[in-house]
């Protein structure tokens, strides 16, 4: 989540209404940082960065 938040485009997903969402609480409570990481939907704020990760925004 920190890597995404510090990037040029900090969106983690798009809400049902089309609004961009991003990290909110950073503790895994709010679920706003749900992303697809290495093919699995998970919370970005609870995932450690490592080389060659495949991170995709969720729709």
Domain ranges of the chain: 2-57
Tens digits of residue pLDDT in 1-59: 988 989 999 999 888 899 999 999 989 999 999 999 999 999 999 999 999 999 998 76
Distance CA 59, CA 48 (A): 22
What pLDDT score does 56 carry? 92
Residues 6 or more apart whose CB falls under 8 angstroms from that of 30 comprise 24
């Amino acid at each position: 989540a920190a890597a995404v938040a510090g990037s040029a485009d900090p969106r983690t997903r798009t809400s049902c209404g089309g609004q961009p969402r991003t990290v909110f609480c950073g503790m895994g409570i709010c679920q706003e940082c749900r992303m697809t990481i290495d093919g699995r939907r998970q919370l970005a704020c609870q995932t450690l960065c490592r080389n060659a990760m495949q991170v995709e925004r969720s729709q």
